[in-house]
Homo-oligomer: A and B are copies of this chain.
Amino acid sequence: MPDAPILLSAFTMATVSHLNYGLWRHPDDQTHRYTDISYWVELAQFLEKSGFDCVFIADALGMIDVYGGSADASLRHGVQSPLIDPLLLVSAMAAATDRLGFGVTLSTTYEFPYIAARKFSTLDHLTHGRIGWNIVTSQQESAARNLGLDQQIPHDERYARAEEFMEVVYKLWQNSWEDDAVVRRTGPDGESVYTVPEKVHPIRHEGRYFRVPDGHVSAPSPQRVPLLLQAGASSSGSDFAARHAEVIFVVGAGARGVRDNVRRIRAKAEGFGRDPRSLKFLTAVAIVTGENDEEALDKLCEYQRYYDPTASIVHYASMTGVDWAATASDAVLHYRTTQASQSVLKQFDPEVSGRTWTLSEAANPKDGFGRATTFVGGPKTVADALEAWLSDTETDGINLIQLINPASYADFARYVMPELRARGRLRASDATTLRARIFPEHGSSRPRSDHPAARHAR
Residues of A within 8 A of B (CB): 14, 16-17, 22, 24-25, 32, 35-38, 40-41, 61-63, 65, 70-73, 75-78, 81-85, 87-92, 94-96, 110, 112, 114-115, 118-119, 121-123, 125-127, 142, 145-148, 177, 181-182, 184, 186-187, 189, 192-197, 200, 210-215, 217-219, 221, 308-310
Contact = CB atoms under 8 A, between A and B. Distances in A.
A174 to B, nearest CB: 16
B214 A84 contact: no
A142 B214 contact: yes
Contacts of A213: 145-146
A200 B83 CA distance: 13
Contacts of A65: 214
A215 B88 contact: no
The dominant DSSP class at the A interface is: mixed
A71 B215 contact: yes
Contacts of A121: 84
Given A41-B95, A72-B197, A82-B195, 16 more contacts: A25-B187, A32-B184, A35-B125, A37-B126, A61-B217, A77-B194, A81-B217, A82-B218, A84-B118, A84-B122, A85-B119, A88-B119, A88-B122, A88-B126, A114-B147, A146-B213
Contacts of A119: 85, 88
A170 to B, nearest CB: 15
Nearest to A111: B115
Contacts of A38: 95
A212 to B, nearest CB: 5
A32 B192 CA distance: 14
A398 B135 CA distance: 42
Contact of A200 (B75, B177, B194): B75
A261 to B, nearest CB: 31
Contacts of A87: 88
Nearest to A34: B125
Contacts of A125: 35-36, 84
Closest 10 CB pairs of A and B: A78-B194, A72-B197, A35-B125, A91-B92, A84-B122, A75-B195, A82-B219, A92-B95, A85-B122, A25-B186
A37 B112 contact: no
Nearest to A213: B145
B126 A71 contact: no
A88 B118 CA distance: 10
Nearest to A200: B75
Contact of A75 (B14, B63, B197): B197
B82 A126 contact: no
Nearest to A149: B211
B63 A145 contact: no
Nearest to A177: B82
A130 to B, nearest CB: 11
B215 A63 contact: yes
